[in-house]
Structure formats: structure tokens, C-alpha cells
Amino acid sequence: MRHLMSPMDFTVQELDTLFDLASSIEKNPAKYAHACDGKILATCFYEPSTRTRLSFESAMLRLGGQVLGFSDASSSSASKGESVSDTIRVISGYADICAMRHPKEGAPMVAAEKSDIPVINAGDGGHHHPTQTLTDLLTIRSLKGHIENFTIGLCGDLKFGRTVHSLIKALVRYPGIRFVFISPEELRVPDYITDMLKANDIPYEEVIRLENVMPELDFLYMTRVQRERFFNEEDYVRLKDFYILDTAKMELAKKDMLVLHPLPRVNEISVEVDEDPRAAYFKQAKYGVYVRMALILTLLNITV
């Protein structure tokens, strides 16, 4: 039995196979509409979410399966003090696969150790968000045809943004990737990430001004300042509108640069950018369903 805790749990080859399956599902959804008949997905969400939880549920429903779960720790037995290990033991008897989001780093891994069913980390604190990374990689591959030789700018809250941490870790395995980290000093990417890049000779640069680097980017991955992980509201208020991507900044970019964002967006991309053909974030959310369908089939060992 296999779980998904980190984007590194799959080799690059296994990811290719997963993305081929996701693309096949996108092209021919009817073929997969009953692949999970009789199967149940549990979504155990101890932290708010819209797209991750609903995209998991949509993925299972589109495969013919069913879903159950909770979307808030206060409506689960966690509010009575139950541990994730006990919860997953019980859920193992109710469902065939579980997607878990938790504010504590490592909680889904603790659950996986006690689980009889595959557990998918749907985001653990500021640590990892592997299924968002699968979504991002599938989006890059589908819209550009490959995942190599790109300069990728990651902008915003690079300190607390788990989607950023997971994506960087996954991308270092592809050839010719160069990173540009764009953040205020206080929200720089953690040292463990830059140490890892240095150790692997992966080129990166850290800058504060987005305008200066816009022309060199093939992708711009915008992120929200992660309010819920700040220690005080004052710092959040000071930093939340540090970057606002608008049409003037888009004029500085390559004609084929793509803008990605894991969503939800707050103010960091002004809505006028949505009309720009280079804005790919809503398409990206759709790829999230195909890749989760492929992931559910893979972890349940179902071939169609």
C-alpha cells in the first residue's frame, strides 16, 4: 500500500505515467466514469479549504465513487481530543482512501503509519502540499508540452507558502530549471530550501522587486500572504499588499509567459489580469481534478 506525503514520493518516471493518465482522463472522461464504482474517499480536513477538498470530492465522484468526511476540525472528534492516529484507524473501516489536511506539519504522516488505507497529504501546515504540486506540474506540462529549461519566478509569501516549498522540491529533479524568488525580506524562502538548491547546483536568485525580473520569466507563480501562519496581525497587514500583479507589470513579461497561482487569490493579482491569455490559474484549478483522479486510481491500483 502506498501513501502520498511529499511530491518526492513519486519518481520522475512515475510522475510521467501519472500525468499521462491525467491527460487521458481529460481527453476521455467517459472511459473512467465508473472506474471507482463502490469505492469511498474520506476527506478529513482539519483546516479550511475550498478547492483542495472539493477537487478531491469532484475527482472521486467523476470516477463513480462516493465521498464522506468533515471540513472543519470543530465538527470532528478532534474537538473532543481524539488523535489523528485513532481517527484514521476508524476511517480505515469506513473508506478505501483518505485525503487529509492538517495545520500541524507531519500530522498526515502520523496518520499514514496507523492507516490500513492509502492516505494523501492534502496540506500539512507550512510544510508540504503534494497534490497542489502535482496540479502545478501537470499544468506546466499540459500548457507548455514539457517540464524543463524554464525560468520560474515564485512571488509572495515564500516563507509560509507550502505550495512553494513542495513545488521547488519537485522541480529540482527536472533539467534546466532556474528559480527566481521574489519576496520581501521577512518572507524569504527558508534556508533549508536554498541550502538544498546550493547542494544540488541549481541556479536561483532572490530579489525584492518583481518589475526587475518580469522580462526573464517563463512562469510567474504568485502566492497569497498566508495570514493564518503569522504571529501577529500587524505584520500581516504591512506585508499583505506588497505585490500586486497588474496589467502594467504584465506588459514587461514575455508574450508566452504564464501566470500560475494555487488560489485562493486575495489582492496579489488584480482581476484585470484575468482577461490576459497568459493568466492560467483558473485552468490550473481544473487540472487539479484530473490529476487527483489519476492519483486516486494509482493509489487504489485500479487500471482502466
Of 277, 165, 276, 155, give the one whose Cα is nearest residue 213.
155
| 238-267 core/surface letters (b: 16 or more CB in 10 A; e: else) | ebbebbebeeebbeebeeebbbbbbbebee
Of 165, 153, 221, 223, give the one whose Cα is nearest residue 6.
165
Interface residues toward ligand NCD, by CB under 6 A: 51-52, 123, 129, 132, 162-163, 224, 262-264
CA distances from 179 to 64, 198, 218, 222, 267 (A): 40, 12, 10, 13, 23
What's the closest the beta carbon of residue 301 comes to ligand NCD, in angstroms?
26
**Residue nearer to ligand NCD on the CB measure, 6 or 132:** 132
Catalytic: which of 3, 39, 43, 52? 52
Neighbours of 121 (CB within 10 A): 28
CA distances from 291 to 19, 48, 131 (A): 7, 21, 8
What's the closest the beta carbon of residue 255 comes to ligand NCD, in angstroms?
27
**Residue nearer to ligand NCD on the CB measure, 35 or 99:** 99
Of 7, 8, 98, give the one whose Cα is nearest residue 53.
98
Instruction: Identify whether 52 is a catalytic site residue.
Output: yes
Catalytic: which of 51, 89, 229, 249? 51
What's the closest the beta carbon of residue 254 comes to ligand NCD, in angstroms?
25
Ranges assigned E (strand) in 56-131: 66-70, 97-102, 119-124
**Residue nearer to ligand NCD on the CB measure, 99 or 180:** 99
Instruction: Identify whether 104 is a catalytic site residue.
Output: no
What's the closest the beta carbon of residue 285 comes to ligand NCD, in angstroms?
8
**Residue nearer to ligand NCD on the CB measure, 35 or 138:** 138
What's the closest the beta carbon of residue 49 comes to ligand NCD, in angstroms?
6
Those residues whose C-beta lies under 8 Å from the C-beta of residue 116, and which sit 6 or more positions away, are 1, 89, 92, 93
Catalytic: which of 39, 53, 101, 261? 101
**Residue nearer to ligand NCD on the CB measure, 35 or 167:** 167
- C-alpha triplet 27, 32, 35: angle, nearest 5°: 165
What's the closest the beta carbon of residue 51 comes to ligand NCD, in angstroms?
5
**Residue nearer to ligand NCD on the CB measure, 115 or 163:** 163
Instruction: Identify whether 298 is a catalytic site residue.
Output: no
Torsion of CA 174, 32, 290, 303, to 10 degrees: -30
Instruction: Identify whether 80 is a catalytic site residue.
Output: yes
Instruction: Identify whether 151 is a catalytic site residue.
Output: no
Catalytic: which of 27, 80, 209, 255? 80
Distance CA 191, CA 213 (A): 22
Neighbours of 289 (CB within 10 A): 23
Catalytic: which of 129, 162, 169, 292? 129
Give the active site residues.
Answer: 51-52, 80, 101, 129
